[in-house]
Structure 1
Amino acid sequence: MRVAVVGGGIGGLALGAGLRRRGYEVAVFDRDTDVTATGGYHITLDQRAQSALERLVDPAVLRRLRASGSALRLRDRDAFWDRRGRLLGHGPDLSGSASIDVDRITLRSLLAEAVGEDLHLGRPVSGVGLDERGKPRVEFTDGTSVTADLVVGADGTHSVVARHLAKGATNRPAGIIGFSGRTHRADLGAAEQQRLGTRSTMGIGPRGAALYVGFLDPVGNAALDAPELRMSVTTGPTYIWGAMFPESAETEPLRDLRGAQLRNALLDRFRERGWAGHTLEVVARADPSSVAAFRFNAASTRAADLAPWRAGHITALGDAVHATPPTAGMGAGAAIQDAADLVEHLDTVVGGDAAIIDAIALFEARMRRRGSEVLTAAMRTVRLILFTDTALGAAVTTVATPVVAAIARRRAGRPSRQ
């Protein structure tokens, strides 16, 4: 069976690696010319995502991944803050967690190595369809095309493949504009280093302003103590943060800014919304070249709305089907699980076209359920941020957070920084 994979992101590369390992004839096409040319947050891989990877790649790849990943079990408990930096509460105990955080570049590079010569970079796709014999065909912007027995779209939020199958868009803007950046922990003052700690934190204020600060240290908190295998991009304690604001005429111009200009504009937006100066230090001290803007897109949370097409010789997975905001840290892991499921269903195929279509139908049914799960989790935070931008939400946030902070302070038996 020949499989053509459109898209060389995490899901497409995971699928390509799994198919290659199982002996399929596979080709992965991506418009990028360099797999390291990727941005975004770091990626969280829970136990389910890691188990899926175990079925897709050689154990040696998993060892390199874990040697390059930061173990959540070695972090402090996550914390929630208000806009003044007052502690509101903590997340669950992570001491028993098997999850790891890893740089997106690191994961993509490892998977690209596993795909090997079956990865074809610099091949932007213009469309998909069927040839005169009814075979799935991938068409490229240079006018060339290839045919296969199965075409899989792993081409992300703006998927050419999924749009062809669904006869339209499979997701829409979620109403949030995100901004990300990287800040070395050592670049912060001692007080802010202590407040943020070695954990991920989330702060939400009135008028739809939120700041996520993730902690990544693949060296000091390595999931696997094997320095000789380490290939992480992050080489020391680093905060990888994400600022979030409701999408509006006010925030839209920010998407055109870059570097220090964008960083300063973000600081202005937070200050206008009453955020304390010390809570913004992680943004103010960020590497300007790391600061970037992106829109949150989301598919429907209803499983029945996902992959709204009849199973056939063209399918899709990952964000092409269930585009997920990064607010739950589950999107990449879900794409990897999609890839593992598809490989396993293809392994059951005995016979011709009908058997392939039956396997795709079973795969898509499981993918719909998984997509609904991760989207429901991610949209909770999106809806909370949007709620604080309403008159009622702003009032509730302004009044309630000092009360919650006082309760948290009383329980802890110590004063919090104001």
Structure 2
Amino acid sequence: MRAAVIGGGIGGLTAAVGLRRVGWEVTVFERAEALPTTGTGLGIWRNALRALDELGLGDPVRRAGRRQPDGIVRKPDGARIGVLRADVHLVTRPALLAVLAAALPRDTIRFGEEVGGADCDHDLVVAADGINSATRRALFGVDVRRSGAIGWRGTADVTVEAGGETWGRGVKFGLTPQADGRTNWYAMTAPDADLAATFSTWHDPIPEILASTTDVLRHSLDYLPPLPAYYRGNTVLIGDAAHAMTPDLGQGACQAVIDAVTLTTCLAKSPETALRAYDRLRRGQTQRMARRSLLLNRLARTRHLTGIRDAAVGAALALAPKPRNDTPWSADLEPDELAG
């Protein structure tokens, strides 16, 4: 059986590894000319690491990153709102993709080739072509919507011991330490905001981190409305192609990994009904997570009654249950969604 994977990102490469493990011949079509060599960090939560353990890749990913200590959620003046329990490894995108690619034969990924689902004469087409998926548009005619917020990301040559987030009036700033001693950071503002001016008076080390960053990424924070299904015919959607969400829960990369492992598990158990089983297992979970992420995004963007908001966030963090080690990787991990 032959499978075409459209997109050589996190979901696509994880799917390729999994499909080969269950006996498929796989070709990955990636429009970029090579794997990226630069990129900011990704939070890989316990559920995704356990899914990667199913493919024998959990430990290499753990070694490629750094376990994150608990962080603090603060106000712009540095006052504490609550403790953010972190059951997560921070791994840079290039490092994660390198681990996944190393688990595939060299000729599996065809770089510099952009194809559509209709161009693939394969038994299975896995569309992992991202938030602006052309495959999804062709199947369902659905595109992403704007949240009304702008995301900023970068890496600074500044060392911090622990990460966390700071919430202001309609804006927020987050940071996480990387394994190499640098700091990965992200921010959310209104579309017309000036990054430096917005955060120049916030608590240390935020001004220093921004001053030490040379390459800043700016992008709209978009999300996908719920799809009626994650497959049609022999084509199946995974990752952002299926359920692009705002980054507020820090689960985008994780859910792409879980999609891919769930898909390959379904194919191994019941090939005839695998896509239907995958849709049943993943659509409800990921669409609930996307809704909660968007609600959290809107909560962070509020400009009024922020004292009440901060008190509610602090209470929610205090009441959040500690992550359990016996929860299956495929479970609907609502406590982790809140912790995210």
Query: What's the CA shift for 1:307?
Result: 4.7
Pairing 1:166–2:140 present: yes
The answer as to whether partners of 2:51 and 2:58 remain within 8 angstroms in 1 is: no
| SS of equivalent residue, structure 1 residue 337 | helix
Counterpart-to-counterpart distance in 1, 2:309 and 2:113? 52
Counterpart-to-counterpart distance in 2, 1:328 and 1:372? 13
Name the one with the larger helix percent. Answer: 1
Pairing 1:66–2:62 present: yes
Aligned residue runs from structure 1 range 190-209, under 5 A: 197-206=160-169, 208-209=170-171
Q: Which residue of 2 aligns with 1:313?
A: 234
The answer as to whether partners of 2:32 and 2:111 remain within 8 angstroms in 1 is: yes
TM-score, with structure 1 as normaliser: 0.69
Counterpart-to-counterpart distance in 2, 1:278 and 1:360? 48
Matched to 1:17, the amino acid is V
| SS of equivalent residue, structure 1 residue 387 | coil
TM-score, with structure 2 as normaliser: 0.84
Matched to 1:101, the amino acid is L
| SS of equivalent residue, structure 1 residue 327 | helix
- Stretches of structure 2 that go unaligned for 5 or more consecutive residues are 315-340
Pairing 1:89–2:82 present: yes
**1:68-90: CA deviation from partner (whole Å, max 9, x where unpaired):** 22113xx2x21111122222222
Q: Which residue of 1 aligns with 2:222?
A: 297
Q: Which residue of 2 aligns with 1:35?
A: 35
The answer as to whether partners of 1:306 and 1:371 remain within 8 angstroms in 2 is: no
Matched to 1:382, the amino acid is N
**1:327-381: CA deviation from partner (whole Å, max 9, x where unpaired):** 211111111111111111111346xxxx2xx221111121212212431342233
The answer as to whether partners of 2:230 and 2:238 remain within 8 angstroms in 1 is: no
Q: Which residue of 2 aligns with 1:280?
A: 207
Aligned residue runs from structure 1 range 5-16, under 5 A: 5-16=5-16
Output the aligned Cα RMSD. 2.5
Query: What's the CA shift for 1:310?
Result: 6.1
Counterpart-to-counterpart distance in 1, 2:309 and 2:96? 40
The answer as to whether partners of 1:334 and 1:374 remain within 8 angstroms in 2 is: no
Q: Which residue of 1 aligns with 2:282?
A: 367
Query: What's the CA shift for 1:399?
Result: 8.5
C-alpha distance 398-159 of structure 1, shift in aligned 2 (>3 A): same
**1:98-138: CA deviation from partner (whole Å, max 9, x where unpaired):** x322111100111112122211111122x333xxxxxxxx2
Q: Which residue of 2 aligns with 1:152?
A: 126
| SS of equivalent residue, structure 1 residue 173 | strand
C-alpha distance 6-374 of structure 1, shift in aligned 2 (>3 A): same
Counterpart-to-counterpart distance in 2, 1:401 and 1:373? 23
Structure 1 runs of 4+ aligned residues shifted over 4 Å read 398-402
How many positions carry a matched residue from both structures?
312
Q: Which residue of 2 aligns with 1:185?
A: 158
**1:217-250: CA deviation from partner (whole Å, max 9, x where unpaired):** 3xxxxxxxxxxxxxxxxx2x22211111123xx2
Give me the identity figure in percent: 28
Matched to 1:113, the amino acid is A
Counterpart-to-counterpart distance in 1, 2:7 and 2:284? 22
Matched to 1:241, the amino acid is W
- Stretches of structure 1 that go unaligned for 5 or more consecutive residues are 130-137, 139-145, 187-196, 218-234, 252-264, 406-418
The structure with the largest alpha-carbon Rg is 1
C-alpha distance 85-321 of structure 1, shift in aligned 2 (>3 A): same
Query: What's the CA shift for 1:199?
Result: 1.7
The answer as to whether partners of 1:162 and 1:315 remain within 8 angstroms in 2 is: no
Aligned residue runs from structure 1 range 223-302, under 5 A: 235=180, 237-247=181-191, 250-251=192-193, 265-271=194-200, 275=202, 279-286=206-213, 288-289=214-215, 291-300=216-225
Query: What's the CA shift for 1:154?
Result: 0.2
The answer as to whether partners of 1:182 and 1:241 remain within 8 angstroms in 2 is: yes
Q: Which residue of 2 aligns with 1:20?
A: 20
Counterpart-to-counterpart distance in 1, 2:291 and 2:220? 18
